[in-house]
Amino acid sequence: MRRSGRLRAAAVGLLGLGLLASGCGGGGGGSGDGTVTIRYSWWGAKDRAELIQKTVELFEKKYPNIKVKTDFAEYADFWSKFNTQAAGGNPPDVFQNSVAFLRKYGEKNILLDLNQQVKAGNLSMKDFRAGLEKAGEVDGKLYGVPVGANTFALFYDPTEFKKAGVTPKDGWTWDEFFSAAQKVSKDGDGLYGAGDNAGVMYLYDLYLRQEGKAFFTEDKKLGFTEGDLKTWWGDWYGKNKDGVLVPAKKAEQVKPKATISADLAAAEFTWDNFLVRFAAETKTELDLGPIPTLDGKKTGQYLSSLMLSGSARTQHPKEVAKFIDFMTHDPEVGKIMGYNRGVLPTNAQYKAFKPTGVNAKIAKYEESVTDKLEPITPHPAGADVAEAAFLRIYGQVAQGKTSVDDAVDQFFSEAKTALGS
């Protein structure tokens, strides 16, 4: 499921959550024989649930005094239920989370600061790849631990690009990318050069980082001007009208597929681990290529991740910490999960899983960009609402329903309200 679409759903009801007291009420139960039960919830499809259930069985075998009650749902349903539970003071003890929600939930005292459990020796933050041990830190508190990581990539059809005489390569520029897309759209027999990804917040964030800016600043505000956004949206919409990019109407018709997996486009930008999904949706061979640059060097890339977080209201923080530790470090868990939630977070799991096919392509790509990665800026509270607005409002531009100038004004108004700035 696309992150932007998922975040739109997650935004519903979040503002209704009240401040919760830490360390009381809620949580799983205990029994007279010393057995503790914790509740574990996540979002995802049935295939993820089947894999996770296997890892839970491994954990319970190693820790027979800890029982894990599991629950999962599709993204929107997960967050709807979670918000209700959190507002009622009874969220799951441990749950799947992402960087977009750490600060929001942390500021509402919903998340357990895991630093104390690290100090107590119940959770290790050692042996993580590429600085991922810092991914869940916000304002000095540890609110999440990565279970998988990904980074942005160019997805492309190597056959079509070869026909157009273009090979995506390190250091190529945005001008070269759009020139390649134009060649493909002219020679592709109805195939468009690329999907229109101007409304993808994470892609624009990379572009801004290449300019020395960022979508969000450390002081929880937008890190770009109205003029910056008018240029970005204006350039992409111009290429859309010129027939280089997939028209909005056609992109809508093939959802939930992406334009590249629906064989409408020869290129698209998204998270590298989506290759698993796209490869299952199309017979066209796809490959991963480098992000275009402004200066031939800086891509602005960073690792994002799915995480496990604990509830501040859990009665069993020690058991929650041991559970998170097992799920992020145990090699057998790595073999079972593979890249379902992204490339594995710790060296022990990464080495234990031997990727083949599309997973091998993802691993190769991540290794190729390791030396280009930069720290991620923690998202402010309201980032999910801003992301949803960014996608929705550009969608109105792409559909010809509003002008770029009016769309930019609308976005800044909605984003400032969401961010409280």
For residues 312 and 20, is the Cβ–Cβ distance under 8 A?
A: yes
For residues 38 and 28, is the Cβ–Cβ distance under 8 A?
A: yes
Structure token digits, residue 376: 């991620």
Q: What is the CATH number of domain 3-148+307-354?
A: 3.40.190.10
- Predicted local distance difference test score (pLDDT) of residue 218: 83
For residues 100 and 384, is the Cβ–Cβ distance under 8 A?
A: yes
- Predicted local distance difference test score (pLDDT) of residue 25: 39
CA distance 294 to 296: 6
- Predicted local distance difference test score (pLDDT) of residue 271: 93
> How many CA atoms does the CB half-sphere of 284 hold within 13 Å?
23
| Domain range summary for the chain, segments of one domain joined by + | 3-148+307-354, 152-301+379-419
Burial pattern 182-200, b for ≥16 Cβ within 10 A else e, equals bbbbeebeebbbbbbbbbb
Domain at 152-301+379-419: CATH architecture: 3-Layer(aba) Sandwich (3.40)
Q: What is the pLDDT along the chain (421 residues), one digit of tens a residue?
A: 344 444 444 443 433 333 333 333 344 565 556 899 999 999 988 889 999 999 999 999 999 999 999 999 988 899 999 999 999 999 999 999 998 889 889 989 999 999 999 999 999 999 998 889 999 998 899 999 999 999 999 999 999 999 989 999 999 999 999 999 999 987 656 799 999 999 999 999 999 999 999 999 988 899 999 999 999 999 999 999 999 999 999 999 999 899 999 999 999 999 998 998 899 999 999 999 999 999 999 999 998 889 999 999 999 999 999 999 999 999 999 999 999 998 999 999 999 999 999 999 999 999 899 888 888 877 888 888 999 999 999 999 999 999 999 999 999 999 999 998 6
Structure token digits, residue 69: 């009650």
Give the chain's length.
Answer: 421
- What is the value of pTM for the model shown? 0.83
* Common-topology check for domains 3-148+307-354 and 152-301+379-419: yes
For residues 165 and 181, is the Cβ–Cβ distance under 8 A?
A: no
Residue type, 202: Y
Residue type, 156: Y
HEC readout, the chain = CCHHHHHHHHHCCHHHCCCCCCCCCCCCCECCCCCEEEEEEEECCHHHHHHHHHHHHHHHHHCCCEEEEEEEECHHHHHHHHHHHHHCCCCCCEEEEEHHHHHHHHHCCCECCCHHHHHCCCCCCCCECCCHHHCCEECCEECCEEEEEECEEEEECHHHHHHCCCCCCCCCEHHHHHHHHHHHHHHCCCCECECCCCCCHHHHHHHHHHCCCCCECCCCCECCCHHHHHHHHHHHHHHHHCCCECCHHHHHHCCCCCCCCCCCECEEEEEHHHHHHHHHHCCCCCEEECCCECCCCCCCCCCEEEEEEEECCCCCHHHHHHHHHHHHHCHHHHHHHCCECEECCEHHHHHHCCCCHHHHHHHHHHHHHHHHCCCCCCCCCCHHHHHHHHHHHHHHHHCCCCCHHHHHHHHHHHHHHHHCC
